[in-house]
Structure 1
Amino acid sequence: MDYTMSLSVEADPFSAEETDQATPLTLRPIPRISIQAFCLTGEVAEVIDRTGKDRRVAKVHLIVRSGSIADATEFYRSASTPNLLILETHDEPQDLMDRLSGLAEVCDPSTKVVIIGHYNDVALYRELIRAGVSEYLVAPINLADVIGTISDIFVDPSAKPLGRTIAFIGAKGGVGSSTLAHNISWALSETFENEVVIADLDLPFGTANIDFDQDPPQGIAEAVFSPNRIDEVYLDRLLTECSKHLSLLAAPSSLERVYDFDAEAFSPIVETAQRTAPTVILDIPHGWTSWISTTLARADEIVITAAPDLANLRNAKSLMDALKKLRPNDAAPRLILNQSGVPKKPEISASDFGSALGVKPLATIPFDPPTFGKAANAGRMIGQLNPKHPISQTINQVAFALAGRREVQGKKKPKLAAIFSRFTSKKK
């Protein structure tokens, strides 16, 4: 790669004055990601602001702020960082590396960073890329620079899928796996302001549309029965917006047809969804079919919901054993104990339940019909109705654990040797 050419302003085929039409039309739409920019000059801020109005960036949640890297560092001490952070700087090379060292202490591991600098320095470029910064652009920049850079990071066909899949399944029917999947999905989308897609895979009896008070005319059934049509554009038409950062691929919840699927039936849908959003939640019905085992085997994370009784323990153990064979190199599924403390009902303690499975429960949620019933009847999540409720707080803690994200308060500073490893590098 010719680094000199990549940094040279003269080598740029698009001038700073050119408009949206100059952007290469071959670029695919940017997926549902969150981008925040801290700009020092009006020229850079104006270009990034125009970027947010481009049709290829229509699904992106973009915020442009005025400020330096130091301002960004201070801001993210009490806020989660986005999927992509764009930072303009006038700092000289050594000062820039020092500033980024401080930023890395408050930056989430999954956040990618693009620097817009004012030094056309090949050595600096190489040092930033080695440190894990995704790209370094030299001002002045134009619309094509910004959209092209975002596309290289998030739409590169050779890159890993953008979205992590988290599959929820109940050890037994009626233990609240779907309810927790929906509440945790909402918490993930609100807490981190990142896009979340829920796929309700229980086609005959799915409840996501009820829980979110939605009645979409189409959803996942259209996708699963038309596998040859599935791409990002088609899937986007099937999604229903539940909130600012949360979209639903709803089940028809109808018995007008029989839903028999082969092992790969949902694979194209999941793979396409992963290219469009950072987090994909799979709400899987209780059962054991070829497509359920295949979907679970390929998920990035699995959450088993169980009630603290003997039947649930037996089923959870069976699931754990089967998944260990299917995923020998992956971590064990997470366990959530739900409906704990039912009056007069004997139950197995959380410690004994987890010990029998060889895992520590991620959370124990009490039996609270009034709270869950009120939320269900209102078509709202518990966090929407009462964010201070203890169950809301527990759900938020589960969301942090599943996201692998840092807490924004009370966090410990990392050792200097690990600072830049927080940035996720884009391979050149």
Structure 2
Amino acid sequence: MDARSINAKVREGVSPTEQELRWYARGLANGDVTDAQAAAFAMAVLLNGLTEPSKVALTLAMRDSGQVLEWDLPGPVLDKHSTGGVGDTVSLLLAPALAACGVYVPMISGRGLGHTGGTLDKMEAIPGLNAKISESELKRITREVGCAIVGATGEIAPADKRLYAIRDVSACVESIDLITASILSKKLAAGLEGLVLDVKCGSGAFMKTQDEAEALAQSLVSTAKGAGCKTAAFVTDMTEPLAPTLGNALEVATVMRLLEGDRLAAPRLFDLTVALGGRLLALAGWAEGEGEEMVNEAILSGEAMAHFAKMVAEMGGPKHFDMSWRTDLPKAPATLVIEAKGAGYVREIDGEALGLAVIALGGGRRKETDEIDPRTGLDRVAPKGTPVQKGDPLCIVHAADDTTAQAVAEMIEAAFTIGDVPEITPLVMKRID
């Protein structure tokens, strides 16, 4: 086999065989496939697509290009994945809630991508916490605590790591088939028995329209099922931030308030967490509707908080983070209130613009080598539908200094449209099983 002949097949719209795709994934991982050949493959897939069997075969081939975890635990091994949005900390809330329900969650997560925040960056806002742990530590913490939120090692789906970087520089990021294989190869390498997918749709998401989001959700579900993993997806609203905070330490603080039982700290975030958790438990065999009640109770009772605090301690963070988080989390020295320029209602919010403002504050990366300032971000972001008068606060900027806060003020003001009462999009727009 060779890369040129396989590329030619895809270019002509002919499906490669399972054996050819396995060879290609190994070649991506070990260097037998050159960057130029991989770029040609990605472009051919972008233009012509893959059949469903080829998509499954590519996903499994990339999964098997590295380490695949195996588990022997007294409960189901489940996980959740989000396609990325702003103010989205479902992972930090859902993983310990599921652990409190008797589920095991080895959550292999990523860093910020574009305007969206990364789960690992949020976890690392907790002083001392180390999200880069070995496989043996991941297995120990998952067994003892019930959940671990960690970064992928170099041994997890190395073919995807290489192809992803090449897609980025060859204008092939938008391929739904390659997005599907990329997401699922990493998630399935964790040895999951069930997976729920949160596919975001709107101004704060990568998929701006419902049609795009539904196409990706359908692709993910059908491919994951074809690979042998019970899977469901929700298409969810990202026409505004999921929670009233953006920025790493600020988002962790919101999670801690929810884990203390304050549902009103971020009601949309709470409700989506319960919905995703309930669907995941249903995939694992719980009765429809029972899972939502269990996740709701796990959070409001404090059981999820206990699991989260233990996970933080086991990963090197403060020993009693549930008690000390208010003083442990870093705080920005400068704040600035962004005020409404007129009267009306918050009609639209440009989530992408707010995410980019957080990056400008130092809360995200413009390039891979940038260091994040976890203190920075936005707090008390007014949700859609909020009535305002001129001068009312739309959000509070948290910055390293006053000059930086002032530099992003105009960008943030422009992200809010004040006008008539808006139509509120349902939080869950569609469920795909």
Larger radius of gyration, structure 1 or 2? Answer: 1
TM bucket (normalised to shorter chain) is: 0.3 to 0.5
Given the two structures, how large is their TM-score scaled by the length of structure 2? 0.33
| Higher normalized helix content (fraction of residues) | 2
Given the two structures, how large is their TM-score scaled by the length of structure 1? 0.33
